[in-house]
Amino acid sequence: MRHSTLCDAAKLVGRVLMSLLFISAGWNKIGGYEMTEAFMVSLGIPALLLPLVIVIELVGGIGVLLGIFTRISAFLLFLFCLAAAFLVHLSPGDAAEMTSFMKNITIAGGFLILTCAGAGRFSLDHYMRGK
């Protein structure tokens, strides 16, 4: 297997793995809308941002999964992960929250790399470019 094919396959697997968390989280927020809204308000986050959160998670996650508008989707999810880390999980006295903080920062790093690298050959972006 050529190096470029292996890298494109790795990008596909990575995209699938990274997108599943956000697609399921967005979907779950729809089903538990009121509970999620109350949680956000308890953190001082305006409830009117919940629809935007859901759209970013679902649309961004699906974009990364399918490799369509990948760089934009990955960048939005990069920003989302940073915001979630600092607004929701930054709690220096709580080890569990700090683990979640670091996980969000780490995932943000993965999305930043995807923003720069693109989706690879096994993506709708590649197909739509006609290559």
Over residues 17-49, the pLDDT tens digits come to 999 999 999 999 999 999 999 999 999 999 999
Percentage of the chain beyond pLDDT 90 is 94
Q: Where do we find the tokens 């979640």?
A: 100
Cβ neighbours around 41 below 10 Å, total: 12
Q: At residue 4, does pLDDT exceed 80?
A: yes
- Report the number of distinct structural domains present in the chain: 1
74 φ, ψ (degrees, to nearest 5):
-65, -40
Q: What is the DSSP letter of 130?
A: T
CA 22 vs. chain centroid, Å, equals: 5
Cβ neighbours around 83 below 10 Å, total: 16
Predicted TM-score (pTM) of the model is 0.93
Q: What is the pLDDT, as a whole number, of residue 106?
A: 98
Q: What is the pLDDT, as a whole number, of residue 1?
A: 59
Model confidence band, residue 131 (pLDDT cutoffs 50, 70, 90): low
Mean pLDDT of 96-105: 98
Domain that includes residue 71, residue range:
3-128
45 φ, ψ (degrees, to nearest 5):
-95, 125
Containing 97, the helix (H) or strand (E) segment is helix 95-117
CB-based contacts of 20: which residues, under 8 Å, 6+ apart? 61, 65
